[in-house]
Amino acid sequence: MSIWEYANPVKFLRLSERVLPALWVISFACLAIGLIWGFFFTPDDFRQGSTVKIIYLHVPSALMAINAWFMMLVASLIWLIRRHHVSALAAKAAAPVGIAMTLIALITGAVWGQPMWGTWWVWDPRLTSFLILFLFYIGYVALWSAVDDPDSAADLTSMLCIVGSVFAVLSRYAVNFWNQGLHQGASLSLDKETNVANVFYHPLLFSIAGFVCLFLALVLYRTGTEIRRRRMRALMAREVRHA
């Protein structure tokens, strides 16, 4: 039994049918717990007031925006090396989810920045990097939809994802160099000293778990959709040939 078993679309579909209901329930439960706890039962921060509650949306979505791209990178590599179609389709399925997460991170960040920094937007390194990530996502999705042949679309987008990852990291450093920012350091780290306070920390963990499960559920479901779409295409092509 190895993980490559699930490169078989039928097995993948069977597994995802089994896992998906649980995943949906877990993700909504975690989101509900984290967000309700965070929204109703945490105190205001002494400096940020009630805007600290935005953290339960901003941090998990920003985390998932980056992890979604990373997942696409891994899936692209698997496609290029082992030629498993499910992998390529999973990368395709993850991109719109990543766009949504990036969008949420940008919106909640802007809404938080307005009262705290006195401006919706600053060209701070972190903000700028996220905007660049957003552009990468859009280019990736546009390339998928522009190429007709599914296999070469998978090839080309995989290469774009890999090269894009290198340039995304480069941009991150370039942007850092270009402008020292207002943004605080990472909210989560293993170093207890710099971490956010415990009252905010526990609901945040639930919220992050909820976002992670939601991402997994969405990607599994969308990958299933893509597999069925591919199969339909193949069937219709055969029908045309028989006719």
Partner 1 sequence: MRALLLRDLILAIRAGGGFGLGLAFFLIVVVLVPFSVGPAPELLSRIAAGALWLGALLACLLSLDRILALDWEDGTLDLLATSPLPLEAALAIKALAHWLTTALPLVVAAPLFGVLLNLPAPGFFWLTVSLLVGTPALSIIGAFGAALTVGLKRGGLLLSLLVVPLYVPTLIFGAEVARRGAEGLDATGPLAMLGGITAGTIALMPFASAAVLRMALK
Partner 2 sequence: MPDLGKYAAEVLSAYGATCVVLCVLVAATLWQGRKVRAELAQVEKNQDGKGAQDG
Residue 57 binding partner 2, by CB under 8 A: yes
Q: Which is nearer to partner 2, 113 or 164 (CB)?
A: 113
Residue 82 binding partner 2, by CB under 8 A: no
- Residue 152 contact partner, candidates partner 1, partner 2, none, CB within 5 to 8 A by sort of partner: partner 1
Number of other residues whose CB lies within 10 A of the CB of residue 141? 16
Residue 234 and residue 59 in contact, taking contact as beta carbons nearer than 8 Å: no
Q: Which is nearer to partner 1, 12 or 137 (CB)?
A: 137
Q: Which residue has the tokens 């939601």?
A: 214
Bridge partners of residue 45, in order along the sequence: 49
Q: Which is nearer to partner 1, 120 or 173 (CB)?
A: 173
Looking at the chain, the number of H-run helices and the number of E-run strands are 6, 0
Question: Which parts of 99-158 interact with partner 1 (CB under 8 A)?
Answer: 132, 135-136, 138-139, 142-143, 146-147, 152, 155-156
Question: Which parts of 177-216 interact with partner 2 (CB under 8 A)?
Answer: 214
Residue 59 and residue 204 in contact, taking contact as beta carbons nearer than 8 Å: yes
Residue 224 binding partner 2, by CB under 8 A: yes
- Residue 231 contact partner, candidates partner 1, partner 2, none, CB within 5 to 8 A by sort of partner: partner 2
Q: Which is nearer to partner 1, 116 or 156 (CB)?
A: 156
Residue 81 binding partner 1, by CB under 8 A: no
Work out the angle at residue 65's Cα, subtended by the Cα atoms of residues 29 and 98, and round it to the nearest 5 degrees: 85
Residue 96 binding partner 2, by CB under 8 A: yes
Residue 107 binding partner 2, by CB under 8 A: yes
Listed residue (164, 175, 170, 165) closest to 126, CA to CA: 175
Give how far Cα 112 sits from Cα of 67, 115, 181, Å. Answer: 22, 6, 16
